[in-house]
Chain A
Amino acid sequence: MTAAPPLARLYAGFVRRRVVLLVALAVALAASFLVDIATGPAALPLRDVVAGLIDRAALPRAQGVILWDVRLPYAAMAVFVGAALGLAGAEMQTVLNNPLASPMTLGVSFAATFGASVAIVLELDLFGLGANVAIAASAFAGAAGATLLIYALSRSVGATKDTVVLFGIAMFFTFNALVSLIQFVANTDALQQIVFWTMGSLARATWGKIDVIAVVLVLCVPLSLRDAWALTALRGGEEQARSFGIPVERLRLTVLLRASLLAAVAVAFAGAIGFIGLVGPHIARLLLGEDHRFYLPGSALAGAVVLSAASIASKLLIPGLIVPIGIVTALVGIPLFMALVLGQRRAP
């Protein structure tokens, strides 16, 4: 009789399957990204897109401008914003132990919208770094404030999963009202910008904005992955995680601040796009489980794929018109959210 194979070997096979799925998500993202670039009012075949991405001079000047100055920033913004929201949602769901947590459902996106609106109305400019950085910083202040408030309330009253979502709804309406108040007093230019934020749209994508989101992602992703084992252990139960020596309170606080930053930059430049932070992590959980070495990058990739696909849909829904992407994600996201709520109720 031969000895049973070491479990490590079985687990290595299991891990390989997850790596394959992660690569498949990345391939799906690349495909969606290219189709997103190729989709729009002006014809731009996929072959030309690839050729133009490799060498701008390969395309006629007009097509080169459409590709590099219009389509590419738009599609890249969808990818980066989707990744930021997916990662933020995954981290929030883990540290709050709540699969319904996301920047939108907790009201964090609207708090960031409020912060961004204040920066627009007051025409803030932090240390001469320009309006983009000031709007992002102000959005972060709003998002972090809302997140910490929910965190403090949850801790002080020993909130259940349902209560945390109720706090989120309260936060959502509070900041919605505050944004309406700012709209009421804002001048016409500022009002137009704020309305854009509340709908969620990629239409104002620029390379400068993408740079800010990319920098934040480059800073946050390694920090998220550094905490992957601790977050995985936290999914096995808070008390047990603490008994393993994980400083759970410190971890929770740093992760929530990080998630707020990710949500804030996404909202600062694309407005309050809903449900990506909810849907991305759920897709990743279904495909990859909750080992956070795979779950966190998987959530970012899934968020990016979904927003990129929504971007394509937003151009195809009404011919000749680009529907604000927040409307598309809400229409798809709300039924999914309801399905998750009902699924939770059925769970033992």
Chain B
Amino acid sequence: MTRGLSLHDLSVGYGRRTVLSGLELETVPPGSLVAVIGPNAAGKSTLLKAIAGLRPASGRIVLDGEDLTAMAAHRRVRLVGYLPQALPQGTSLVAYEAVLAALRAVRGDGSAEAAIDAVFDQLGLRDLALRRLGEMSGGQRQMVGLAQALVRRPRLLLLDEPTSALDLRWQLTVLETVRAIAARDHSIALLAMHDLNLALRACDLVVVLAHGRLLTAGPPEQAMSPDVLRRAYGIEGRVERCSQGFPIVLSDRAVPRSEPSGSIPP
């Protein structure tokens, strides 16, 4: 059995409208952090929802040798954790019971106490355990959402813009925590991200989506070539290293609409 995640001819749509078509991704090894990037409406969130089983999809999603699309829902939810982009405001749930509900919602999940203690410690949320979600900042709510996704120790973690509501320190903290969890559990984390520099810095692999296709996938600096930047984002740019050695994307100019951006037709 090959361990890891791979996609085979994966297509996803909303009704008759196809959003993603024929995605192929070679096996991503356990312990990897994968950034899913692309311009607005490229289908990043849709891809994560399809893998989580929240959108009907055709093709195969293979995790550790098993096809998730053919798997019973109750098994799939134990293997896959998902953090949506938008979390609700104004709820009176406290953080502890939100995470407890994530475990108890599906009957038969025992040993909740130790698992919740562990995930709150890991994410540094202990002080927020009894605070209502409606009284938290967007970033704190996102951390609680992350705790809900992590508490079952899934094999595959799908995080939709996990750092979008966080300040710089928390962005790095979250990504380092996710990396530590992936290394500990030999799990895989797919993160839909807009911040290219954070994606380059934190992730082992970058998957670039554009115009409903998978444009390229590979190690960050290799995937983010000037040609990919032009075709995916319509910019002239390059990746260079800063004085600390971290790769950063420099955008020189937007490609004028009159010039061919080399984009793949939809």
Using a CB–CB cutoff of 8 Å, the interface residues on chain A facing chain B are 4, 6-8, 10-11, 14, 97, 99, 229-230, 232-233, 235-237, 239-246, 285, 289-291, 347-348
Contacts and interface: CB of A to CB of B under 8 A. Distances in A.
A222 to B, nearest CB: 15
Contacts of B130: 10-11, 14
Interface residues of B, number: 43
Given A8-B113, A236-B87, A241 B96 contact: no
Contact of B98 (A97, A99, A236, A285): A236
A34 B100 CA distance: 39
Nearest to B107: A229
A244 B120 CA distance: 18
6 contacts: A230-B105, A236-B91, A236-B102, A243-B80, A285-B92, A347-B90
B96 to A, nearest CB: 5
A4 B129 CA distance: 13
Contacts, number: 112
B88 A237 contact: yes
B94 A239 contact: no
Contact of A11 (B77, B87, B129): B129
List of 3 A-B pairs having minimum Cβ-Cβ separation, nearest first:
A245-B77, A243-B82, A8-B113
B236 to A, nearest CB: 37
B96 A11 contact: yes
Given A11-B96, A246-B105, A237 B87 contact: yes
B106 A244 contact: yes
A3 to B, nearest CB: 11
A232 B129 CA distance: 16
Contacts of B89: 347-348
Of the candidates B82, B94, B102, B133, the one having the most CB atoms from chain A within 10 angstroms of its own CB is B102
B129 A244 contact: no
Interface of B: 49, 52-54, 73-74, 76-77, 80-84, 86-94, 96-98, 100-102, 104-106, 113, 116-117, 120, 126, 129-130, 132-133, 145, 148-149
A236 B93 contact: yes
B87 to A, nearest CB: 5
B87 A240 contact: yes
B103 to A, nearest CB: 8
Nearest to B94: A289
B91 A241 contact: no
Contacts of A291: 93-94, 97, 101
B216 to A, nearest CB: 28
A240 B97 contact: no
Contact of A237 (B76, B84, B116): B84
Q: Give the interface centre of A14, A233, A241 by most chain B CB atoms within 10 Å.
A: A233
Given A7-B126, A8-B113, A10-B129, A289 B84 contact: no
A11 B97 CA distance: 9
Nearest to B75: A245
B119 to A, nearest CB: 10
A7 B96 contact: yes
A14 B77 contact: no
A341 to B, nearest CB: 14
A242 B52 CA distance: 9
Given A229-B104, A237-B84, A245-B105, A290 B91 contact: yes
Nearest to B97: A291
A7 B145 CA distance: 18
B52 to A, nearest CB: 5
B97 A232 contact: yes
B132 to A, nearest CB: 7
A243 B93 contact: no
A289 B132 contact: yes
B94 A14 contact: yes
Given A233-B101, A243-B52, A6 B106 contact: no
A60 to B, nearest CB: 50
Given A4-B126, A7-B126, A229 B105 contact: yes
Contacts of A6: 113, 117
Given A237-B87, A243-B52, A246-B105, A232 B94 contact: no
Contact of B92 (A229, A242, A290): A290
A290 B101 CA distance: 11
Given A229-B105, A245-B105, A347-B89, A240 B84 contact: yes
A290 B93 contact: yes
B77 A244 contact: yes
A245 B73 contact: yes
Nearest to B77: A245
B105 A239 contact: no
A97 B104 CA distance: 20
Contacts of A236: 87-88, 91, 93, 98, 101-102, 133, 145, 148
A10 B130 CA distance: 8
Of B80, B97, B104, most buried by chain A (CB within 10 Å of CB) is B97
A1 to B, nearest CB: 15
A244 B102 CA distance: 6
A233 B120 CA distance: 18
Nearest to A15: B97
